[in-house]
Amino acid sequence: MSAPAISVTDLTKKYSERNALSHANFEVPLGTVCGFVGPNGSGKTTTIRMLLGLISPTGGTGTVLGEPIQHPERYLDRVGAMIEGPAFYPALSGSENLRVLATLGGFPQERVGQLLERVGLADRGKSKYKTYSLGMKQRLGIAAALLPNPQLLILDEPTNGLDPSGIQEIRDLLRSLAQEGTTVFVSSHLLSEIEAISDSLVMLREGEVIFAGKTKDLLIKQLPVIIAKSGNVADLQALLKIAVDSGHEATIRDEAVHIIAPSEWAQVLNKAAFDAGITLSQLAPIRPSLEETFFEMTEGDK
């Protein structure tokens, strides 16, 4: 059986008295898309920087493509990465920037045109980088990460600045890369996109891994949720009280009450709201999404 693309055991990074990452354990199978999520400050960037050999762990072990992270020189030529936003020469065109990187890395120059086409920048390859929108800069960053034809691609917020059609294109690109055998480890705040493209998921909270496994396994385990909306803010508070007084966990966010309860309880809530003189604009049981699940699992950070 092949070794996983990424494997970490008790991986820890400590700064002064604070653990940025504490005893993390997870694996990323080869040829899959793995979502890497967590609130700001939960340890995602620290983890990625250790995987890329940019900082050393305080404790624990890890491997990337079968090689220990203490020796990144053994695997970095097989890894493509874009973290904390791409950086290029402003006065050079997108194509020229990629050609510089290809020359420095010893990669075939013909890959430049191929990758510009693949990330949707073929018609803007000759434009100067300083004229690029944020979304175009992200696309060029992904193209640069793909120059070495990597076995593992690590991306931090790759869809930042993209419009919906651009997000769809990047989603399709990442899925196609995985189908071709490239492992994709992607961090994003767009949890709907992570849900749509990921085979597996690693979720952090306050420097600790709170879930690592198949995305579908996490979602299947979640309790059903009822969404209730009213145009009156005071009514939302009243709905919240009805739910809590009935023994259900509930929160208010996004101008709606989110209630963890069986779908049939929606009928009970509907009658209770009517009796209380509350007009509902929406009342619907839903399958918990990754975004819903993420909030429930990480709300301890709030």
Question: Digits of tens for pLDDT over the chain (302 positions)?
Answer: 578 999 999 999 999 888 899 999 999 999 999 999 999 889 999 999 999 999 999 999 999 999 999 999 999 999 999 987 788 999 999 999 999 999 999 999 999 999 999 999 999 999 999 999 988 999 999 999 999 999 999 999 888 888 888 888 888 999 999 999 999 999 988 898 899 999 999 999 999 999 999 998 888 777 788 999 998 888 999 999 999 999 998 999 889 999 988 888 999 999 999 999 999 999 998 877 888 888 878 874 44
Which residues lie closer than 8 Å to 140 by C-beta, 6 or more apart?
A: 86, 88, 94, 97, 98, 119, 121, 129, 132
**51-107: pLDDT as tens digits:** 999 999 999 999 999 999 999 999 999 999 998 778 899 999 999 999 999 999 999
- Cβ proximity of 207 and 42 under 8 Å: yes
DSSP secondary structure, 4-27, as one string: PSEEEEEEEEEETTEEEEEEEEEE
CATH code 3.65.10.10 for 6-220? no
Nearest Cα neighbor of 154 from 39, 55, 28 is 28
CATH class of 225-286: alpha beta
Report whether 127 contacts 98 (CB < 8 A): no
Domain positions in the chain are 6-220, 225-286
